C-alpha cells in the first residue's frame, strides 16, 4: 500500500484531483489524504466546486487565504509541513501551476518525500506570469512528471529532465469533463440556479475572464468588453463574473451592454451546462481552452500566449490578444476552425488510471 497526499488549492486543481480520487479508489493499492490549502477561500469559488465534483470534505484544510504571492506561498508551506510530518506520505501529488503546487512540492522535497506533478512541462515562455515560475520550479524538483501533450514532453527533455521521469498520460481535466458530461445526461437542469437563462436567450456565446493582466488594467478591460459587446450584437453572451473581475468593473465605473448577461460565479457543473452548448467560448482560462477542444467548441483565448499549444495546433482554440480588433478577428477564425479541429493524443478519459499505474510501478521499484 502506498500513502499519497493529494493537494488542491484553487478551482482548476479540484477538477484535476476529483478523477484521481476516483481512480485511486478503484486501484485498491493506494491510501490517500486530500489537502485543501485554502488558496481559493471564498465559499462560492471553492466549496461549491467540491460539492459539484463529489469530493466530500478534505482531510486537511490549511486556510491559506489571501495575501501577496510570498505571503500565500509561505503560509501554505508552514501548514503543509505539519500535515506531512503527521501523515508521513510516500508521495505527494500536486497538480497544475498555482502557488499551492509550488509550495507543497518544495516542502515535500525538503522532507525527502517523492513528488509527482500532474500537468507538468507546460510552458508559456513568459516569465512575467507567476504560473510560469511555479511550473518551472515544481518540475525541476519532481520525481514524476505527467504531461498532457507532446509539447510538455519536449519542453522537459530540453530542460534535461531524464526521460524515465517524463510520462505522456493524457489529461485528468478531460477525465473529469467526460465524467461530468455523463452525469449531465441524467441531471435535472431545472435544479440550477440560473436554469431559466439558457432557453431564454437562444443561441449564445459564453465568457470567463479573470486574469489580472486582463482585468486589473482599465484600458485592457475596456478593450475586451468593447469586442465582446460587438459579439453580443449578434448573440447574447453569458458571462459568470469572477469576484476579481466584478470588483474591477465596479471600480472602473464600467457599464456592460445589456446583451452581455452577467451571472454570479457558477459551480463546475452549472458552468459546464452553459458552455457545452455555446456557439463560441471567450476565455483567459487555461483549463477552458482544453475542455472546449475536447468537445469541439470554438474558443477564443484572450491572451497573447498559451502554455497549451496543442489546443491551437490540433484543437478549436485561437489566441486573440487583448485588442478589440484582434479579438473579433480571432472570433471569426474560431468559428471557421470548428470544421477541421481534432482531439489531442490520449485525451480519452483514462489519464488518471495511467498516472496511478506509473506511480505504483515506480513505488514498487523503490521499496
Which band of pLDDT confidence, cut at 50, 70 and 90, is reported for residue 46?
low
CA atoms within 13 Å, Cβ hemisphere of 317: 31
Residue 262's SS3 state is: strand
CA distances from 340 to 236, 243, 306, 315 (A): 26, 36, 20, 9
Whether residue 227 contacts residue 280, with contact meaning beta carbons closer than 8 Å, is answered with no
User: What does the pLDDT read at residue 197?
Assistant: 87
Q: How far apart are CA 150 and CA 131, in angstroms?
A: 20
User: What does the pLDDT read at residue 158?
Assistant: 98
The backbone region for 220, taken as left when phi is positive above 0, alpha when psi lies in -120 to 50, beta otherwise, is alpha
Summarised one tens digit per residue, pLDDT across range 163-207 is 999 999 999 999 999 999 999 999 999 999 999 989 888 999 999
Which band of pLDDT confidence, cut at 50, 70 and 90, is reported for residue 248?
very high
Summarised one tens digit per residue, pLDDT across range 138-148 is 999 999 999 99
Summarised one tens digit per residue, pLDDT across range 81-138 is 999 999 999 999 999 999 999 999 999 999 999 999 999 999 999 999 999 999 999 9
Extended beta strands in 71-172, E state: 91-95, 114-118, 144-147, 166-168
User: Given CA atoms 354, 362, 286, 42 in this order, what sign does their dihedral have?
Assistant: positive
> How many CB atoms are closer than 10 A to CB 18?
27
Q: Which of 40, 210, 242, 363 is flagged as catalytic?
A: 210
User: What does the pLDDT read at residue 19?
Assistant: 96
**Is 171 assigned a catalytic role?**
no
Could you give the domains of the chain? Answer: 2-171+347-366 (3.40.50.2000), 190-340 (3.40.50.2000)
- pTM (2 decimals)? 0.91
User: What does the pLDDT read at residue 250?
Assistant: 96
Helix pair 11-27, 351-366: axis angle to 10 deg: 60
- What are the CB-based long-range contacts (under 8 Å, 24+) for 161-168? 166/120, 166/121, 167/354, 167/358, 168/345, 168/346
Please give the grid coordinates belonging to residue 130. 507567476
CA atoms within 13 Å, Cβ hemisphere of 156: 31
Summarised one tens digit per residue, pLDDT across range 322-342 is 999 999 999 999 999 988 899
Q: How far apart are CA 33 and CA 78, in angstroms?
A: 18
Annotate 333-356 with DSSP letters as a single string. Answer: HHHHHGGG----TT-SS-HHHHHH
User: What does the pLDDT read at residue 114?
Assistant: 98
Amino acid at each position: 500500500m502506498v500513502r499519497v497526499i493529494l493537494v488542491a488549492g484553487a478551482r482548476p486543481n479540484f477538477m484535476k484531483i476529483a478523477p484521481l480520487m476516483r481512480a485511486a479508489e478503484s486501484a485498491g493499492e493506494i491510501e490517500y489524504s486530500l489537502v485543501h490549502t485554502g488558496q481559493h477561500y471564498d465559499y462560492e469559488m471553492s466549496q461549491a466546486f467540491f460539492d459539484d465534483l463529489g469530493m466530500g470534505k478534505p482531510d486537511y484544510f490549511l486556510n491559506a487565504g489571501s495575501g501577496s504571492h510570498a505571503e500565500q506561498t509561505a503560509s501554505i508551506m508552514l501548514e503543509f509541513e505539519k500535515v506531512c510530518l503527521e501523515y508521513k506520505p510516500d508521495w505527494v501529488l500536486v497538480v497544475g501551476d498555482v502557488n499551492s503546487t509550488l509550495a507543497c512540492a518544495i516542502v515535500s522535497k525538503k522532507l525527502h518525500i517523492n513528488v509527482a506533478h500532474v500537468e507538468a512541462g507546460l510552458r508559456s515562455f513568459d516569465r512575467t506570469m507567476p504560473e510560469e515560475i511555479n511550473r518551472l520550479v515544481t518540475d525541476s524538483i519532481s520525481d514524476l512528471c505527467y504531461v498532457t501533450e507532446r509539447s510538455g514532453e519536449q519542453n522537459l527533455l530540453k530542460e534535461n529532465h531524464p526521460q524515465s521521469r517524463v510520462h505522456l498520460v493524457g489529461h485528468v481535466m478531460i477525465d473529469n469533463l467526460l465524467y461530468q458530461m455523463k452525469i449531465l445526461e441524467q441531471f435535472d437542469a431545472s435544479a440550477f440556479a440560473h436554469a431559466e437563462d439558457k432557453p431564454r436567450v437562444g443561441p449564445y456565446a459564453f465568457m470567463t475572464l479573470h486574469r489580472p493582466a486582463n482585468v486589473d488594467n482599465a484600458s485592457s478591460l475596456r478593450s475586451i468588453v468593447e469586442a465582446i459587446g460587438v459579439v453580443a450584437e449578434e448573440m447574447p453572451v453569458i458571462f459568470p463574473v469572477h469576484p476579481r473581475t466584478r470588483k474591477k468593473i465596479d471600480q472602473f465605473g464600467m457599464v456592460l451592454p445589456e446583451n452581455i448577461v452577467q451571472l454570479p460565479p457558477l459551480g463546475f457543473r452549472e458552468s459546464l451546462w452553459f458552455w457545452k452548448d455555446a456557439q463560441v467560448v471567450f476565455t483567459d482560462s487555461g483549463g477552458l481552452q482544453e475542455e472546449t477542444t475536447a468537445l469541439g467548441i470554438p474558443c477564443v483565448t484572450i491572451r497573447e500566449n498559451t502554455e497549451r499549444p496543442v489546443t491551437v495546433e490540433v484543437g478549436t482554440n485561437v489566441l486573440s490578444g487583448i485588442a478589440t480588433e484582434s479579438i473579433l478577428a480571432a472570433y471569426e477564425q474560431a468559428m471557421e476552425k470548428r470544421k477541421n479541429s481534432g482531439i489531442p493524443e490520449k485525451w480519452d478519459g483514462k489519464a488518471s488510471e495511467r498516472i496511478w499505474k506509473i506511480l505504483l510501478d515506480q513505488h514498487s521499484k523503490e521499496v
